[in-house]
Structure 1
Amino acid sequence: MIRLERVTKSFAGKEGAAAALDGVDLSVAKGEIFGVIGSSGAGKSTLVRLINLLERPSGGDVFVAGERVTEARGERLRALRRSIGMVFQHFNLLSARTVAGNVAYPLELTGEYGKAEISGRVAALLARVGLSEHAGKYPRQLSGGQKQRVGIARALACEPSVLLCDEATSALDPQTTGAVLDLLRQINRDLGVTIVLITHEMDVIRRTCDRVAVLDRGRVVEEGPVTDVFLHPRHPATLRLVREAEPDGGSLDAVAGADLGGRTVRLTFTGPAAHKPILGRIARENLVDYAILAGRVGHIRETPYAQFIVSLSGRDVAGAIAGLRASGVDVELQGGAPLAPPEERPRHVV
């Protein structure tokens, strides 16, 4: 659906051109929710603005729906932007317009719709985002979450095939963030809209996205399914972001590198395995004792997971490890050396 090939973007500075993006290759499949994550200054917002050509690349090519759009101008550019809705961090609502007026605005700009058609479309969009009773209010009368729902309704007004969300939840409290992310997932599911979600929060990626690219200093340093990237981060930039998402500040990785006696391993259970007593059964079968040193349990979208650092000791530790793997548990030795062949988790890592 979206493809960036060798894309670069530089901005003029006092000391010459500064590269915001450096040779980015990226593909987003039709109908998926694709996350782009990185720390402040990594180039995330620049990247998302290249997709609808709010910024033009200094080099490389941008493709949308199989069409090269890098040099789009005039009517072709306007058509491209109608097909790509955008949701902003600070809402960007028109303060002098009501909620209904904000949602109607992009439809009015096209000049292609009559008043009755616009009114019907606006009513349907406000119902979708749960704001029908607020149609006559002004932005100043709304909460942050309500303002962002207006922004989402407005972005959907021209029935886009792509929705770009640039830090769409970073100005919201955790509860409101969850509600907005639920709405985005519902829109993706019901309408089939491809969503590109820019954020600096790994928890947003974990709860929402199918795949993710990690951006660091203008380069994609890691890319893959969210389950793999979140549970098995490989690049230092990814590790930092995952640790920031943990309530204890990343003690799982700190323990993984410690010498704690026995055979220390990282065990990752995903899907149905996360709810089964596999570790206890395998330990009994192999006469092995285990101590759980650190761990985390949760969901990546709808997929349950559990990940533990465990010290194994006793009669047949090697047999216990083999049994865990045979039961579908991912096992990594202390320090992160994978027991499973790397090709079982194909990802792009620089």
Structure 2
Amino acid sequence: MIRLEGITKSFDGKDGPVSALDGIDLSVAKGEIFGIIGSSGAGKSTLVRLINLLERPTGGDVFVGGERVTDAKGERLRNLRRSIGMVFQHFNLLSARTVAGNVAYPLELTGQYGKYEIAERVSQLLARVGLTEYADKYPRQLSGGQKQRVGIARALACEPQVVLCDEATSALDPQTTGSVLDLLREINRDLGVTIVLITHEMDVIRRTCDRVAVLDRGTVVEQGTVVDVFLHPRHPATLKLVREAEPDGGWLETAAAADLGGRTARLTFTGPTAHKPILGRIARENLVDYGILAGRVGHIRETPYAQFIVSLSGRDVAGAIAGLRASGVDVELQRDADEFPPVGMQLSERALHVV
């Protein structure tokens, strides 16, 4: 649905051009929720504004729906923007218009709809976002979550193929954030709309997205499924974002300080394996003792996961490791890679040292 090839973007600075994006290659499949995450200043908002050409790339090409749109102008550009809705961080509602008037506004701008068609479409959209009874209220009378629901309804007004969400939940409290994310997932599921979600919070990605790209200093440093990136971060920028999303962001450091004793491994259980007593069974079968040094459990969208750093000792540690892998557990050991865990930490024979 969306493809960015070799995208660069620079702005004029006092001392010459300032690079905001450098060599971006991304592909977003039709119907998925794709997350773009990075710290403040990473280039996220610039990147999302290139998709609907609110910003023009300095170099590279933008494709939407299989069509190169990099140089789109005039009517072609207007049609492109109608096919791409946008939800903003600070809502951007028109204060002099009612809720219904705000949702109707993009339909009125097209000049293609009659009064009754607009009224019917607005009614459908307000029902979709749960705001039917607020149609005649003004933005000042709404909570932040209600304002963002109006923004989502407005973004859907012209039946777009794509919705861009630029930090759409960062101004909301955690409970309201959850309800807005649930609404976006419902819209994606029911309408098949492709959603590109920009955020600096890994928890938003974990709860909502199918795939994610991590942006750091204008470059994509990591991308993949959310399960892979969240559970196996490879780049320091990703690790930092994952730690910030953890209730106990220092769980890896807890393991680093532990006396490990045996062979050390990081075990990752996802999907059905997360609910099965695999570790205990394998330990008994191979006469192995294990100590859990640190861990975390939770869900990535609907996928349950459990991840532990353990020390293994006893009669047949190699057999236990083989049994775990045969049972669908992802096992990471020092000799499987140059680094363990592959999240910016190194393993010595007796202790983990945080890099």
Q: TM-score range by the shorter chain?
A: over 0.9
**Are the aligned partners of 1:257 and 1:334 in contact in 2 as well (CA < 8 Å)?**
no
Q: CA deviation at 1:256?
A: 5.3
**Are the aligned partners of 2:91 and 2:147 in contact in 1 as well (CA < 8 Å)?**
yes
Relative to structure 1, the CA distance from residue 94 to residue 235 in structure 2 (aligned partners, 3 Å threshold; closer, same or farther) is: same
**Are the aligned partners of 2:254 and 2:294 in contact in 1 as well (CA < 8 Å)?**
no
Q: Which amino acid aligns with 2:123?
A: A
Aligned-residue identity in percent: 87
Q: CA deviation at 1:316?
A: 1.1
Partner of 1:90: 90
Relative to structure 1, the CA distance from residue 338 to residue 321 in structure 2 (aligned partners, 3 Å threshold; closer, same or farther) is: farther
In 2, the alpha carbon distance for the partners of 1:179 and 1:338 equals 42
Spell out the pairing of 1:59-208 with structure 2 (5 A cutoff): 59-208=59-208
Q: Which amino acid aligns with 1:38?
A: G
Q: Which amino acid aligns with 2:239?
A: L
Relative to structure 1, the CA distance from residue 160 to residue 195 in structure 2 (aligned partners, 3 Å threshold; closer, same or farther) is: same
**Are the aligned partners of 1:31 and 1:195 in contact in 2 as well (CA < 8 Å)?**
yes
CA displacement, residues 47-71 of structure 1 (integer Å, 9 cap, x when unaligned): 0000000000000000000111001
Q: CA deviation at 1:335?
A: 9.1
SS in 1 for 2:119: helix
SS in 2 for 1:54: coil
Partner of 1:11: 11
CA displacement, residues 228-279 of structure 1 (integer Å, 9 cap, x when unaligned): 0000000111111111111112322652586622111110000000000000
After TM superposition, what 4+ stretches of structure 1 lie above 6 angstroms from structure 2?
none
**Are the aligned partners of 2:293 and 2:309 in contact in 1 as well (CA < 8 Å)?**
yes
Relative to structure 1, the CA distance from residue 237 to residue 196 in structure 2 (aligned partners, 3 Å threshold; closer, same or farther) is: same
SS in 1 for 2:223: strand
Range that drifts further, 256-265 or 208-217: 256-265
Relative to structure 1, the CA distance from residue 276 to residue 220 in structure 2 (aligned partners, 3 Å threshold; closer, same or farther) is: same
Give me the CA root mean square deviation: 1.6
Partner of 1:346: none
Return the TM-score normalized by structure 2: 0.93
In 2, the alpha carbon distance for the partners of 1:31 and 1:56 equals 25
Gaps of 5+ in 2: 343-355
Q: Which amino acid aligns with 1:60?
A: G
Partner of 1:244: 244
- Say yes or no: does 1:275 pair with 2:269: no
SS in 1 for 2:220: strand
Gaps of 5+ in 1: 343-350
Return the TM-score normalized by structure 1: 0.95
In 2, the alpha carbon distance for the partners of 1:239 and 1:333 equals 19
In 1, the alpha carbon distance for the partners of 2:106 and 2:173 equals 28
